[in-house]
């Protein structure tokens, strides 16, 4: 899928330099990596919230299944590294 963004010249130059310095093939690959990291940070934040929420609680079996499924999905996402098609 193609998305277009508009950047001020200063940010465009910065993105070009970062893409080159990070050995990305192009600026699109650089932005894709930034988005993957932001998504993973959000997932990590959600998992921390879930973990904190269930700590000390006496979870019902369904709660334990949800936490286990969440961890399983997270492991699968890490394994696949959610590379775009």
C-alpha 75/C-alpha 52 separation (Å) is 19
32-51 pLDDT per residue, tens: 999 999 999 999 999 999 88
The CA-atom distances, in angstroms, between 10 and each of 7, 14, 15, 16, 76 are 8, 6, 9, 10, 38
**What is the predicted pLDDT for the residue at 63?**
75
The DSSP symbol for 25 reads S
Q: What is the pLDDT of residues 49-78, one digit of tens each?
A: 988 887 777 656 677 788 888 888 888 888
Contact status, residue 33 vs residue 83, Cβ threshold 8 Å: no
Residue 84: pLDDT above 60? Answer: no
Instruction: Look up the pTM and report it.
Output: 0.59
Output the pLDDT for position 61.
65
């Amino acid at each position: 899928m193609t998305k277009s963004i508009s950047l001020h010249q200063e940010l465009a130059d910065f993105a070009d330099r970062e893409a080159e310095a990070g050995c990305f093939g192009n600026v699109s690959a650089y932005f894709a990596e930034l988005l993957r990291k932001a998504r993973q940070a959000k997932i990590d934040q959600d998992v921390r919230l879930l973990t904190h929420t269930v700590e000390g609680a006496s979870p019902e079996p369904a709660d334990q299944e949800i936490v286990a499924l969440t961890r399983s999905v997270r492991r699968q996402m890490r394994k696949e590294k959610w590379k775009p098609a």
